């Protein structure tokens, strides 16, 4: 049984931990508002860009379509771009992203495809490396910036586009979390390269629209921008998901610390009362012996 001093020290230690988790919860809550606003503000632009893509893509086909739209003509080599966080203490967010990436990798491998990984963020490296150490193409570090933005998305996109043009892969998939709320961040897998033909009729399906310059020239400029926008949106969604998951995890940790403090305090009081009772019994027994 633990001594009174050990129990008192442990109560003090848990209280110190509770202060840290409470402070981190408040910081995450403050950052969440900005991150959520940024992620939600970027969604309409991405949706509108997809609509424009649908209109243009419906007017080009075959060899006249840009490489980013028509692809290499093969789907043998697949690259999984996995977007994880750089910091921990955010619950099961990174574990869920890695789980989705591994599930997609197993599915592709089962279909006879070659799979490699392009890892963004630190926290997904170790679990993926344990199973696919020889299939990791690159680690893109975003920990040296305060908050990743379009500059980082542009650098990732340029690297991916260069690799695609060199023929290093045929299809790239983007694995990232979508922020729903502080309690829910859903990992999703979307095809990034070649740019999938947008579903639906597009914005120009029933209208006569003439483009100047032609659709192919516009797509040559628009398709790389679309890839960068998707990556930028994924980074924004990651930031919002990280802060939301961190706030929830720290709130749970604070509550658990409070429950543990209550249990230890009860145990401490019982042990202290038992020690006092024992001393009183010894004193009374000694007095009666005299």
Active site residues: 90
Backbone angles phi, psi at 113, to 5 degrees: -95, 155
Q: Cα separation of 42 and 49, whole Å?
A: 11
- For residue 162 the two structure tokens come to 């260069």
Asked whether the bond before 194 is cis by omega within 30 degrees of 0, the reply is yes
N- to C-terminal Cα separation, the chain = 33
Cβ–Cβ under 8 Å, residues 47 and 146: no
Collapsing DSSP to helix, strand or coil, 187 comes out as strand
CA angle, residues 188, 191, 196, in degrees to nearest 5: 135
Question: Residues with Cβ < 8 Å from 222, sequence gap 6 or more?
Answer: 49, 52, 53, 56
> Number of H helices and number of E strands within the chain?
6, 5
Return the ∠ at Cα 154 (arms to 118 and 60), rounded to 5°: 90
């Amino acid at each position: 049984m633990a001594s009174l001093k050990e129990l008192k020290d442990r109560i003090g230690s848990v209280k110190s931990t509770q202060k840290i988790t409470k402070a981190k919860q408040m910081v995450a809550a403050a950052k969440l508002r900005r991150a959520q606003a940024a992620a939600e503000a970027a969604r309409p632009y991405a949706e509108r860009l997809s609509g424009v893509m649908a209109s243009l893509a419906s007017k080009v086909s075959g060899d006249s379509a840009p490489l980013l739209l028509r692809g290499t003509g093969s789907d043998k080599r697949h690259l999984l771009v996995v977007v994880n966080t750089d910091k921990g203490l955010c619950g099961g967010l990174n574990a869920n992203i890695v789980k989705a990436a591994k599930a997609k990798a197993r599915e592709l491998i089962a279909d006879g495809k070659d799979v490699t990984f392009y890892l963004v963020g630190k926290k997904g490296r170790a679990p993926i490396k344990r199973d696919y150490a020889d299939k990791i193409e690159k680690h893109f570090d975003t920990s040296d910036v305060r908050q990743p933005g379009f500059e980082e998305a542009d650098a990732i996109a340029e690297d991916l586009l260069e690799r695609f043009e060199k023929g290093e892969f045929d299809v790239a998939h983007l694995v990232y979390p979508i922020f729903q709320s502080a309690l829910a961040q859903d990992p999703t897998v979307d095809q990034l390269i070649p740019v999938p033909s947008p579903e639906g009729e597009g914005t120009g399906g029933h209208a006569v629209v003439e483009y100047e310059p032609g659709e192919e020239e516009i797509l040559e400029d628009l398709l790389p921008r679309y890839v960068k926008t998707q990556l930028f949106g994924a980074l924004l969604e990651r930031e919002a998901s990280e802060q939301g998951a961190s706030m929830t995890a720290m709130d749970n940790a604070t509550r658990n610390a409070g429950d543990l403090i209550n249990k230890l305090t009860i145990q401490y009081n019982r042990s202290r009362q038992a020690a006092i009772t024992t001393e009183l019994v010894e004193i009374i027994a000694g007095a009666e012996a005299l």
